[in-house]
Each structure stands twice: as structure tokens, then as C-alpha cells.
Structure 1
Amino acid sequence: MQRGGGFGGIVTLCCLVLFQCSMVSTAVPVPQHKVDLHWYPATATWYGSPDGDGSDGGACGYGSLVDVKPLRARVGAVSPVLFKNGEGCGACFKVKCLDKSICSRRAVTIIVTDECPGGYCANGRTHFDLSGAAFGRMGITGESSQLRNRGELPVLYRRTPCKYPGKNIAFHVNEGSTDYWLSLLVEFEDGDGDVGSMHIREANSDEWLEMNHVWGANWCIIRGPLKGPFSVKLTTLSAGRTLSARDVIPRNWSPKATYTSRLNFKL
């Protein structure tokens, strides 16, 4: 099917993103509810090579991260109802097909890294567009090819906690960031996986400064000059859980660098 997204994975047009950041409201609602673990009906297709890992980049902005473990072969694009204008990025789902003659009982776990806004994903449908490898894993042993030949499949899906064994939450500083415009992307968030709001705190300050959602999984703040090291506080969209990483971004931070914290959400 026609792929959605088209952002290329990183913020390359700094002026455009700067304009977007300035236009976004600072009020970011954070629903206070638990992740719904019930199974719901949807449809699924696949893209890329039959046994491929799927997207390179995608509308969430994870870039080359989608090509390596632990995301590799677990990536998926979702329709707008699940993508949520990018705030659904990072959420994890279990997806399983229903035809017992060709589908196994196991569900495949995918991570939202992209959006599919047209075709199968239009008209308010709940749809998953999976990598060829992820789609094939829903089939019984030896039937992966036959399963992919079916094209679109009815499936069941539910939210599932994200799990990144051995990983702590990391913050990628997007290309184009300066002392007056700082953009961050969250990586390897256990649990809910999605981000509802993000704040930073400068060195020698008690004030948490709210960041704005720009596109995909990217957040930014216009203010300055900003002085590191920066502490980062994020709140999940699904359950409103909060985590603060103290001084995780150093004083001499660099654009395109990724800084790993010492903690993660408890599962």
C-alpha cells in the first residue's frame, strides 16, 4: 500500500519546525486513565519485503532506530485513530489474526513508528500496516507466505506494555537544536510507551518549562538562552505516569546526540 509519513526520520527543515513549534498550544491534556488491555477488532496489511523489517524512518521521527534491535521487525504503521497526530508514537500493541486454518494462536507485538493516513487506513478505520516479518509471524509454522498472500486480514488487537530489556529511557537531541530552540525525542520508554507531555528544567533552577508537541514523537521549546545541564520530566499519554531524569542532558550537549538516563518506568 502507499506509505504514509514522509518526514525522513529527523528534523531537517529547522525553520519550518521552528514555525510549527511557535504555533502549538502550550496546553497539553494528559488523560488520567489506565491502559485498556481488552481485545478489539481491526484490519491489517503488510508492506516492504516479505521478510523485511519494515519502515526506514517513519512519521514518528525515530530515524534509523527502527532498523535495529529492539525495534527491528517490530515496527508498524497505524491509522490516524491510533496515531493520534503523533502522540500515539511509541505505544505497543499485540496483534493476532483470526483464521484458524492459517493463523497461529500467538500474537505479534509491534511498536508504533509510523502513520498510514490513506488507503486501508482512511475513513476512521482502525488499521495496522505491519512489516512483512511481523505480519508473517502471525501465521502457523510454514504458512507465513500464504498468510501474506491474503493481503488484508481481520485481526484483534490490544495495548500491551512496552518492554526494552536492558535499556533505560534516552533523549535524542534533534538536528537544528540551539540554545534558543531545543527539540527532543524519547527512546526506549518502558510501559505506556507514549508521551503526553514533556518538561525540561535548566541548571540551578526549580522551574519546569513545558515543551510543545511538534510532529510525530518530537517535542520542542522556544526560550533562551537555555542553560544546561537539563533535567527532563515526561508524562505518559495513556496513564499519566511521570518520570524525571535529573541532569540527563549535559551542559555541553550537541545536536544529533542521544543521552541515556539511569532509569525507566517500572512494569
Structure 2
Amino acid sequence: MECNMGSSILCKSCLFSSILLLLVAESHSQGIVSRATYYKSSDGFGTPTGACGYGEYGRKINGGRVTGVSKLYRNGAGCGACYQVKCKVPLYCSEDGTTVVVTDHGEGAHIADFVLSQNAFAEMALPDMASKLFSYGVIGVEYNRIPCLYDADLLLKVHETSKYPAYLAVLLLFLPGADDITAFQLWQEESNEWKPMHRAYGAVYDTTNPPLGALTLRFLVTVSADYNYWVQLDNVLPTDWEAGLTYNTGISS
């Protein structure tokens, strides 16, 4: 299936149809048992040097409630995913736990799946019990993947490593839903075909010698092993695109 920004209603339907299905599924889930630890920072937020390539966005998104993951990183396909994580320490843990966004790759001691920011780790605790959780270092948790919901439009960022006009690297910010982005392609007007982009690392896709002029891209949303679809972004980058800038896709979260 391919969504074209020329029909925005269809695109939004494509992106969000799976959200409702996942919400129903998660409500009946017992959660997956694992472990979590945390990393320190001066303000409790994330790190701008995370392996997903998000930079400052990866430090502050979701109020700094972010996480590095090990096996859930999946060579970068797990970047941007949201999880509800609940700790399992008697007397100290809240019922709701915390909701985190994956921004980094990392593995804590004792095979911890989640390496949470301090803000996220503390939010799992009951009031005035965060210090008790921190004293454990590594704790048992239960987690579920949940849809990401943002009060912002989906943005396409030209990564800072891009060099106009010979090298282009991009990534998506404020990606809604609970599905993976598994491919990016760039439209080649001269040859009338799509050129695959390479996953440089994390959430960053790149290509050399992109066409001159406004650029049309598309990304592949993978819902399951049997179902995926393309979302097309017509002329999403202007002729004079710049490294470090973000461009609105017109898709609302």
C-alpha cells in the first residue's frame, strides 16, 4: 500500500489505523518481564549523543523520559518506539509506571533491556520513593509497546552531517503510532524511479548525490511480517534544503 500526501486523509488513515488495534491488544496484555537500570545526567533528561541520531530532540522528547534499549534496538528499527514500563519492587512502585521513548542503544548490568533516563526511572516510583528505587540500581520491570502520541506534526529533519548538495541524511521526529520505519527512498525524476536510501545508523537514512530541486521521499511503515505500506512525502524538502533544519510533513500526530 502507498500513501500519497496528495490525499492527506488517506495518509492519516494509513498511519493511525494500526494504533486502535494495538491499543486493544495492549489492554489485554500481561506485559513482558525484563530488567531496567538508569544513567545519570545533570538534569535527569536523556543524552544528545544517543545511537538513534536524534541529538537534542533525543534528550528532551517526552519530558526527558527516554531510554536506551538492547535487544529492542533492532539495528535502529526500534528507534522512536514507545513503551510503558512498570517496576516490580514491592512497596516502591506506582501502578502506572512510566512511558518512555527509545532514543539510544545500550545494555545495562544483569542483562537489563532498558537503560532509562533518571526522569523515567524516578517516575516508576510511588511518591517519595524514587530514592529507594535508585538504590537498587537494577530492578525487575514489566513492559509493553504502546502507540506514541504527540501534540505535534511529523517532522523530517535533515541531519547535521548532511552536506548540501552532495550528501543528504534524514530522520523522522514525532513519529506517531506503534509501528517501525524500515526503509526510506528518494524519488529520481530523471530516471523515473525510486532510489533506496541507506540506514546510516539508528533512525538516520542517507544517500549521496541527491537530485537538485525540491525532493520527494517516502518511508516504509512495517506493521507486521505480513503487512507494510509506504507513506509518500511530496516535495517535502525545498530546493535549498539545509543541514540541521526540520521540515513539516503535513501529517498530524
TM-score normalised to structure 1 length: 0.76
Determine the structure 1 residue equivalent to 2:76: 86
Asked whether the equivalents of residues 91 and 112 of structure 1 are also in contact (C-alpha less than 8 Å), the reply is yes
Mark the CA change 1:50 to 1:173 in structure 2 (over 3 Å): closer, same or farther. Answer: closer
Secondary structure of 1:133's partner?
helix
* CA–CA distance in structure 2, aligned partners of residues 217 and 131 of structure 1: 19
* 1:264 shift after superposition: 4.2
Q: Give per-residue Cα distances to partners, 1:27-68, cap 9 Å, x unaligned.
A: xxxxxxx86744101100111148611323311110111233
Query: Could you say if the C-alpha distance between residues 179 and 56 of structure 1 is closer, same or farther in structure 2, counting changes exceeding 3 Å?
Result: closer
| Residue-pair matches, total | 225
1:204 Cα deviation after fit: 7.7
**Counterpart in the other structure of 2:175:** 189
% of aligned pairs identical? 31
Within 1, Cα distance between the matches of 2:41 and 2:212? 46
- Does residue 209 (structure 1) correspond to residue 203 (structure 2)? The answer is no
Residues 42 and 155 of structure 1 are in contact (CA less than 8 Å); yes or no, is this contact kept in structure 2? yes
CA deviations over 1:146-204 (Å, ceiling 9, x no partner): 11112110000111111111x11111112233333321111111003631011122568
Structure 2 unmatched ranges of 5 or more: 1-20
Q: Give the residue type in structure 1 aligned to 2:220.
A: T
Deviations 1:51-103 (A, max 9, x none): 611323311110111233x4332211111x11112121111111001123111
Q: Does 1:232 pair with 2:224? A: no
- Once residues 49 and 154 of structure 2 are traced to their aligned partners in structure 1, the CA distance between those partners, rounded to angstroms, is 19
1:263 corresponds in structure 2 to 251
Matched, 1:133 2:119: yes
Following the alignment from structure 1 to structure 2, what is the Cα–Cα distance between the partners of residues 179 and 203?
16
Which residue in 2 is equivalent to 1:254? Answer: 242
Higher helix share: 2
Q: Verify: 1:169 aligned to 2:161, yes or no.
A: no
Say if 1:92 and 1:193, in contact at 8 Å, map to a contact too: no
Per-residue CA shift, 1:121-154, capped at 9, x if unaligned?
7xxx451010111111111111111111121100
| Aligned residue in 1 for 2:109 | 120
**Could you tell me how far apart the structure 2 residues matched to 1:225 and 1:44 are?**
42
Matched, 1:149 2:135: yes
**2:39 is equivalent to residue 53 of structure 1:** no
Which of 96, 110, 116 is 1:106 aligned to? 96
* Higher relative strand content: 2
Give the Cα separation in 1 of the matches to 2:101 and 2:139. 19
| Structure 2 counterpart of 1:255, one-letter code | A
Equivalent AA in structure 2 for residue 59 of structure 1: A
